Every structure is written in C-alpha cells, then in structure tokens.
Amino acid sequence: MPDVSSVCDKITEILSYDPLHPILFSSGLFLFLFAGFAFFYQFMRRAVMLRMIYVVLFSLYFYYKTSGLFLFLLVGMSVSDYVIGRFLCAARKQSLRKWLVALSLTIDIGVLCYFKYTNFFIGLLNDVSGRDWLDFQNIFLPVGISFFTFQSISYIIDLYKRRIDPADQWIDYLFYLSFFPQLVAGPIVKARDFMPQIRQKPIVVTREMFGMGIFLIISGLFKKAIISDYISLNFVDRIFDNPLLYSGFENLMGVYGYALQIYCDFSGYSDMAIGIALLLGFRFPKNFDAPYHSATITEFWRRWHISLSSWLKDYLYISLGGNRKGLKRQIFNLFVVELLTGIWHGADWNFICWGLYYFVLLAIEKLFLLKYLEKGKFWPHVYTLFLVVVGWAMFVGNDYGVGFGELFHRLFVPTGGVSPVYFLRNYGVLLAVSAVCCTPLIETLWNALKKRTATRVATVLVLLVLSTAYVVGSTNSPFLYFNF
C-alpha cells in the first residue's frame, strides 16, 4: 500500500503555490496534470459551456501555481475590459468610444507599469534629484503580465476598429485572456485571431493537428529540457557567474551560448504552447521561424518573437502612420516601436539600450544598407548573426549582474586565457548540436518524415524518452521569458 503521508504530501504539492517552484511545461508535474486534463477534455468537446468552464478553471489553477493570488489581478483585468468592451460596442458617439478606449488603456498600462516599472522610476527619480526621495518597493512581478496585458489591449483596439464582435459572455473573454498554453510566456494571440475559435462546436482535432501538436510538444520539450537547460547549467552560467575570470574568447563564446540558450528556451516554450493548443483544437500563430538564419536585421525581426513584432506593427507602428508619411516619420515611428520593444522586455537600462541598438541597426538598413545586403549571399548572414549576438550581450549583462562596460571590454579587447582549441574540444559538440536546433533543418526533417509513419513515430519516441528522462532526473530552470 502507498504511504498515506507521501500521498498527502503529493496532493499538497499539487494544490499549493510555491513561488520558488512554479509549474513549468517542462516539469513532470505539468505533464502529469495535462495528461489528466486532456483525458477528461475529450468528453467535453461538444458541450461548449461545460468545456469553457473546465478550461478556465484549469487555466486559473495553472496561473495560481505560477503567481499565487495574483490570479485575481488576471480575473479583475478580464472583468474590467469585458465591461468596457460592452460599453464600447454600445456607444454611438465617436468621442465616447475614444474615452472608453483611453480608460481601458489607462487601466491596463497602469497596472503593467506599477508592477514592472515602479522601482525603475523610483531609482531614476532618486538619481536625477541626487536624493533618496522615495524608498524602493518590494513588488512581486506577476508572471506573464506583459503578455496578457497586450492581449487585453488587443481586444479593446480590435473592438474599437470593429474588427471583431464583443465577447458574448464574460467567461468567453476570461477564456481568451487566461487560456493556459500561452498565458505566462506567449505567444501573444490577437483577439481577432483567437476569439472566433472559442465557441466552435464541436472542437475538431484533425489527424494533422494531432500529429503536429505531438511533434511540437516533444521538440519543444527537447529544446528546453535538454539543449537550453544543459547549456545554461554547464556553460553559460559558469562563465557569467564571474566573467572577469575568463578570457575575451570565452566571454564571446558565452554570449554565443546564451544566444543559443535563449532561442531554444523561448522557441521551445512557444512550440509546446502551440502544440498543446493544437491538441485542444485551437490554432496559435507561429512565433519563431529560424531567426538566426536571417540575412538582415529587418528579416531577423520578422522571424524572432513574431507575435510581439506583429502586435507592435499592427497596433503601434501602423497607428502612428507606418511608412505612409515619409521617410522621416517612418524613422521616428521605428524609434518609438524599438524603444517600446526594449521597455516591454524589462525595467532596466540594458533593455532600453537593446531596443535603441536595434533602432539604429534597422534605421541604417532602411536608409541605405538594405539594398546591398539583398545582393549578398553569405556575408549578410554573418553580419546579422554577429550583430544579434552582440545584442544578446546586453541581456546577459542584465541577467547575471555583469557590469555593462566590463563585459563589452572583455568581448572586444583581446585578453589571455584558455586556448580556443581546448575550449572547442570541450564544448564544440554541444554548441554545434545547439546551433543545428536553431536552423530550419529540424522542421525540414520532420516534413520529410511525414511520408513514413514508422520513422516519424520512432523519432518522436526517441525524443520523448530522452526529454522525459532528463525531466525526471533533473531540476528544471524557469523559462527565461517568465522574467519579461
């Protein structure tokens, strides 16, 4: 018989909130819970209201396990924008409609700024004044607030522009805002793309959706649990815990490793989110498209974090005028978008510099460089990858507390240290395998395997066994984009 105390401990673990151990897609606990959830979900595919209540309750539980009682913040935001949305659709005067949109944006952006940027603004005020006018606040950042805030804004703007009809009931909107696959780290799903899917009856999961969903979950788990976590624990963390102990070459390889880590981490999560949604009968937009294969910085931003880039383009860049009002206005609009991109990622000067860094690169391309890059074959890829990796050095500085100037001094000023041959002998295979996972090769191989069922199943089983063994035998680190 099982030990009663151990069973009680397991139940307590499942029901309780532990801020140090949030539930992750790559954890054994989530895989166990999702298997049970998916089993009962199959019996509700035709019962629309029962299915919606079931999914919402699981989503709220999932968020509670991640952010505790901040789930009431999520619920409160859903109530606020649902009510404003109903008034917005009923209003006839354009001035009133604009006031309602302004009210919604004030609430949503105000909540986001309070939790994410209060301490940054306090520090900025104190630095400018030269006095400690205000004390720093101990503010816990709710996981995923940047993502579900943008989704809520998407709903209100789509209603204002009459792109969608309002949610029939509050639970419809709560379903959209809290849907657990993309709740805490995206992809950012626009209201006009997802809302029409909510009340489909019955839920249809085609054979193609099921196969692609399983592949995305397994490949995403492989990227996260094996590639990203292994690089982090055995390579990147070791260097950037104290980068001054290592040579410029090692620091450069550390940033390169971080570039592989953050891609496998974030794209792995996105793949799992898209795959889980497919198994439940919903389609999410693609969030990554081999970004390190890009030949220009412009192309990189069409391939990296596509849902964020698309959101900013649709709701900010085009609203500001896009490229319709001349080159100077286009450059200004680009400045605003890239600055906001940096600020969205976090309240730190590193992120602001990162956003402005990409503004400069994109502006240079649009002004004169793009036409030369489009004529090149190999060198544009080298140019793009190098500049992207340099950009990630700004993220490394933020995550590990590395001095910004010290890190870049190490990267670009030659210093003594370990031999490159010795370094590559120890880590070359790891970096090469990780680099392959960042190319279109994996998707190309999967498409080739579609013709042979036995080979496809065997490939999935091998990836599943490897990933599961690693998940069971190790402690998974949180997804990097939980911090953003």
CA-to-CA dists, residue 255 to 144, 391, 397, 435, angstroms: 25, 9, 10, 13
DSSP code for 482: G
Give the DSSP H/E element, type plus range, for residue 390: helix 379-400
**CB contact set of 338 (below 8 Å; sequence gap of 6+):** 355, 356, 358, 359, 362
CA-to-CA dists, residue 180 to 86, 186, 252, 318, 365, angstroms: 24, 10, 37, 30, 38
Residue 385: phi and psi, rounded to 5, are -60, -40
Q: Is 345 a catalytic residue?
A: yes
CB–CB of 122/159 below 8 Å? no
Token match 């990780």: residue?
Answer: 434
Total length of the chain: 484
Q: Specify burial of residue 184 (Cβ count, 10 A radius: 0-12, 13-18, 19+).
A: buried
- What are 5's two structure tokens? 């105390």
Amino acid identity, position 351: F
CA–CA distance, 350 with 207 (Å, rounded to integer): 45
CB–CB of 219/226 below 8 Å? no
Give the DSSP H/E element, type plus range, for residue 319: none
DSSP code for 16: S
- What are 165's two structure tokens? 């009809």
CA angle 119, 120, 124 (to 5 degrees): 115
- What are 357's two structure tokens? 């860094």
CB–CB of 417/245 below 8 Å? no
CB–CB of 280/203 below 8 Å? yes
Active-site residue, selected from the candidate residues 293, 305, 345, 409: 345
Among residues 319, 313, 312, which one has the least CA distance to residue 345? 312
**CB contact set of 57 (below 8 Å; sequence gap of 6+):** none
DSSP code for 226: I
Point out the residues that are catalytic: 345
